[in-house]
Homo-oligomer: A and B are copies of this chain.
Amino acid sequence: MELIRAVYQATSPERNPETLAENIAREQSLELTRALIPEAIAERLLGRVLDVTPLAENRWALEIGYPVELASGQAGQLLHLLYGNVSFYPRIRLTGLKLPESLLARFPGPIGGLPDIRCWTGVPDRALLMTVLKPRGSAPSVLADLALAFARGGGDLIKDDQNLVEDELPAFRQRVGACAAAVEKAAEETGRRCLYLPHVAGSGSHLERQLDFVRDSGLGGVVLCTWVMGLETAAAAARERELMWLSHPAMAGAFTEPEATGIASAVLLGTLLRVAGADISIFPGRGGRIRSGHADDETATCRALAGPLGSLKATLPCTGGGKTLEQAVATARAQGPDCAILVGGDLIARHDRIQADVAATVAALQAC
């Protein structure tokens, strides 16, 4: 039988690690004591312990195999299967995930991803530079001027800050329209296209009308706060309109940052987002304003997003969290060309030097 293979790290387990592994396998698959599960159902659907290995003093790796049917071919259900109830168990962290080919084949993955973003921006082979429009409360013209200066300087990607949220549609249209026009104007001047991604939030018809406006404006994609909206909700909202989506990691630190609980960044902000179809995944990189609390490897997340995975397109990894323009070049050297670097506040602080400093940084990235 084809299995989804998940590795959990158990720290200071309250019981025998083998017993704990059996408990997790049951909890996450059929949630019933063994004696109450009919044999035919157990054979088909019960999770099974594949391996139990000591990692360090009081720490174990528990590998569990889940029958592929349990994911129901849905990204949300896959997330749920891997960590739903076990999130309440003490000191269990999901650290590894391997999906069988048959399941990967059921997920479309990114509709555009790294290849289409390279095509859109006309940048075949270097690391990409991204900025963010903020703060909330700014007049649309102020945000549009920032977008214009960045795009004129040859910047590649612009995202709305995830705090830019409007209660009413006209305000959303006015702001997004102004920024889109600025990016369009720069493209006419430079002959290069910068990809502008507006932030879209909310639910129901308010959400749908914002998404429709973005699509009808000819923009290539949106920013979605995946862990607020829901993984599969975000994917479906973008895919139904053939929009690319950048996944913002807000709330995800609750999973990635604790040492003994949660889900490793490479799984949550890497494999799961790619499977669900995110075209860009932002995560806080090392050395920015937001420092990661533990040793999750930035490189592992990049690899999960852009390395081989079935026939899925690569998701563009983007490291952010308070990087400076100077750090952009160093980060590109460390991560290689298949990544984007997000620079926000440091760019805004440069005022009338934005265009020139962006141009210099892009040239340096090109030279990497």
Binding site for B on A (CB under 8 A): 27, 29-33, 35-38, 40-41, 44-45, 70, 72-74, 76-77, 79-80, 83-91, 134-138, 161-163, 165-167, 201-204, 225, 228-236, 239-240, 249-258, 260-263, 284, 290-293, 321, 344-345, 348-349
Contacts and interface: CB of A to CB of B under 8 A. Distances in A.
B79 A37 contact: no
Given A80-B225, A235-B203, A45 B88 contact: no
Given A29-B163, A36-B345, A229-B233, A257 B201 contact: no
Query: In the assembly, how many copies of this chain are there?
Result: 2
14 contacts: A29-B136, A30-B135, A30-B137, A31-B134, A32-B344, A37-B135, A70-B163, A77-B202, A77-B228, A84-B251, A87-B254, A90-B257, A90-B293, A258-B258
A137 B250 contact: no
Given A76-B203, A166-B72, A135 B41 contact: yes
Given A135-B41, A201-B74, A232 B235 contact: no
A85 B253 CA distance: 8
A167 B72 contact: yes
Contacts of A240: 204
Nearest to A79: B228
Given A30-B134, A229-B230, A233-B233, A88 B249 contact: yes
Contacts of A235: 203
B84 A162 contact: yes
A88 B161 contact: no
Contacts of A292: 88
B236 A203 contact: yes
Given A74-B201, A88-B290, A254-B262, 15 more contacts: A30-B135, A33-B345, A36-B135, A38-B138, A45-B136, A72-B167, A80-B162, A83-B254, A87-B250, A88-B249, A203-B232, A203-B236, A229-B232, A254-B255, A258-B262
A257 B256 CA distance: 14
B134 A32 contact: yes
A88 B257 contact: yes
A135 B31 contact: yes
A167 B138 CA distance: 45
A166 B258 CA distance: 33
A84 B136 CA distance: 15
B225 A84 contact: yes
Nearest to A290: B88
B257 A87 contact: yes
B45 A137 contact: yes
A321 B33 CA distance: 13
Nearest to A138: B41
B261 A321 contact: no
Contacts of A204: 236, 239-240
Contacts of A344: 31-32
A136 B70 CA distance: 9
Q: Which 9 A-B pairs have the closest CB atoms?
A: A230-B230, A87-B253, A84-B250, A88-B253, A41-B137, A203-B236, A204-B236, A90-B293, A30-B135
A349 to B, nearest CB: 6
Interface hub of A37, A252, A293, A321 (most chain B Cβ within 10 A): A293
Given A30-B135, A258-B258, A88 B284 contact: yes
Contacts of A291: 90
A36 B348 contact: yes
